[in-house]
Amino acid sequence: MKRFSHHIALAVLIAMIALTQAANAQQNNANPKPDPRFKADILVVVAHPDDESMIAGYLAKAVLDEHKRVAMVFATRGNGGQNLVGYEQDQSLADIREMEARQAVASIGIHNVWFLRAPDTPAPAGDNMDVLRSLETWNHGKILGQLVRFIRLTRPEVVITMLPDVVVGENHEDHQASGVITSEAFDLAGNPTAFPEQVAAPEDRLWFNNHMEGLHTWQPEKLYYFTDATQLGFVKGKGPEYSMTAISPSQHVSYGKLAAIEISFHKTQYGDAPERALKTGKLGFYEQPLPFILGKSLVGGSVTGDIFQNVVPGPIPFAPVRGYRAPKNPPDFSIELGGPWAFYQKFYPAHNLDNLTNLLAPEIGVGGGQDFPVHLILHNNTGKAVTFHLQTEFPKGWSIDSSSSQYAHHPMPVSVFRVAAHDDYPVRIRLVAAHLNKSEWQNVTWTAKVDGKKVDSVTLKLYDRN
């Protein structure tokens, strides 16, 4: 009975406090500002706990020496990763990796951390480059809405995320998905018609069980990408580059060393390798130059200028993007690489990512003997059905796996496809890489013919690792 009476008294006290606050608010006619505790200068969005470590040296510079406020968003909790220090797997591993991430970024002064809790997309070896699969398993719309919320909550001037592209060394679809969704959220957070429930005022903020979230629209100013590509020639001149051998004025060690300290908290993924590097002073890997790619800037500045060049404190007007536009006069017949390449060809111009449109030719990295799928799309824009003859030209030692379904009943490497009028025909080919004595670039080309005449061809660059 005493406990019941205590609960009643507590409820009455809470109600009295709420009524007093409501009366004071009405008397002062106060409209509270956005919560300053979560304001960020930079919002970083990555796929997994430990992905942030690739740019930890720059983040340490920004936070510890430039006094920037940085917030972190992890799309997944990394439940699909390895565990080099214990048996914990799946959701137990996710709990550990979340804690590791919080401790890691705290070591360089970052304390506002959120997780979107998307699934860590499982991917069999050699079959992990299609961003569309991650967008499917993540529940694209739901995750996008959550990230728009975090941009509106943190109100960053600068957003940094992972490069949405397939490049050698960067074939992970979750990495690319984080870049895709962040690019979309960058363009939507300032639009009051996008997830409008987030920016609608609550009915009575001083009482309980309110719906509508009371956030404000927010347009970030600059969008940057980073990548863990192993062949970085395409990055040169596409954005600023920071020295990781430079010494932090406040910490009196190199930014590379601060990055090694940060990554050392991710023990499930790296074991004691970072600690050994710190102990021996062999920091070469961590002290390599750190390049970024400028996605777009709404405030001008040079492509290779500092990340905060021309940044204006406070809100700027909403900047709508051009959106998808269908080609005006497509050819009668054509062929294109499908999957992520077809998607990105439409995605970049739709989101005003002009700096990415011609960033590099379609490419992937593969290991010797590895088999992997390539998707092609045959386009027939005429009013009659036609027959495509598709020929694959690959270097010596390469082959087409017999599981390529469309090739199963046709002689290889030429196959025949009947494509209906005004139709697109998807073709899936599984290639098997050659075993080479040394790593080198090679090309695979597909040529399409209709009625015996060549109509189009596409080429995929392959870095065949020995």
Nearest CA-CA partner of 300 in 291, 292, 309: 309
Instruction: Report how far residue 279's alpha carbon sits from residue 301's, in angstroms, rounded to the nearest whole number.
Output: 41
What are φ and ψ of residue 325, in 5° steps? -135, 125
Residue 157 near residue 218 (C-beta atoms within 8 A): no
Q: CA neighbours within 13 Å on the CB side: how many for 299?
A: 20
Dihedral sign (CA 356, 358, 362, 368)? negative
Give pLDDT < 50 ranges for the chain: 125-127, 407-411
Tokens of 56: 């930890």
Nearest CA-CA partner of 134 in 150, 118, 145: 118
Q: CA neighbours within 13 Å on the CB side: how many for 14?
A: 9
164: three-class secondary structure by DSSP:
coil
199-208: list long-range contacts, CB under 8 Å, 24+ apart: 199/152, 204/22, 205/32, 206/18, 206/21, 206/22, 206/25, 207/18, 207/22, 208/18
Q: In Å, what is the CA distance from 455 to each residue of 343, 380, 447?
A: 22, 11, 8
Write out the DSSP string of 31-99.
-PPP-GGG--SEEEEESSTTGGGGGHHHHHIIIIIT---EEEEEEE--TTS--SS-S--HHHHHHHHHH
Which position has the token pair 């863990």?
Answer: 228
b vs e for 186-195, b when ≥16 Cβ sit within 10 Å of the residue's Cβ? bbbbbbeebb
Nearest CA-CA partner of 162 in 147, 146, 182, 142: 182
Nearest CA-CA partner of 131 in 168, 73, 173: 173
Instruction: Give pLDDT, residue 37.
Output: 97
Instruction: Report how far residue 367's alpha carbon sits from residue 465's, in angstroms, rounded to the nearest whole number.
Output: 5
Question: Which domains, ranges and CATH numbers included, belong to the chain?
Answer: 36-297 (3.40.50.10320), 333-465 (2.60.40.10)
Task: Sort strands 386-393 and 363-367 into parallel, antiparallel or unpaired.
Answer: unpaired
Tokens of 329: 């006069």
Instruction: Report how far residue 172's alpha carbon sits from residue 193's, in angstroms, rounded to the nearest whole number.
Output: 32
Which position has the token pair 């796929």?
Answer: 47
Instruction: Give pLDDT, residue 411.
Output: 43
Percent of the chain scoring above 70 in pLDDT: 90
6: three-class secondary structure by DSSP:
helix
Instruction: Give pLDDT, residue 423.
Output: 98
Instruction: Give pLDDT, residue 402.
Output: 64
346: three-class secondary structure by DSSP:
helix
Instruction: Give pLDDT, residue 408.
Output: 42
Count of CB atoms situated within 10 Å of the CB of 457: 15
Dihedral sign (CA 194, 197, 198, 200)? positive
Torsion angle of C-alpha atoms 16, 22, 28, 29, degrees rounded to 10: 180
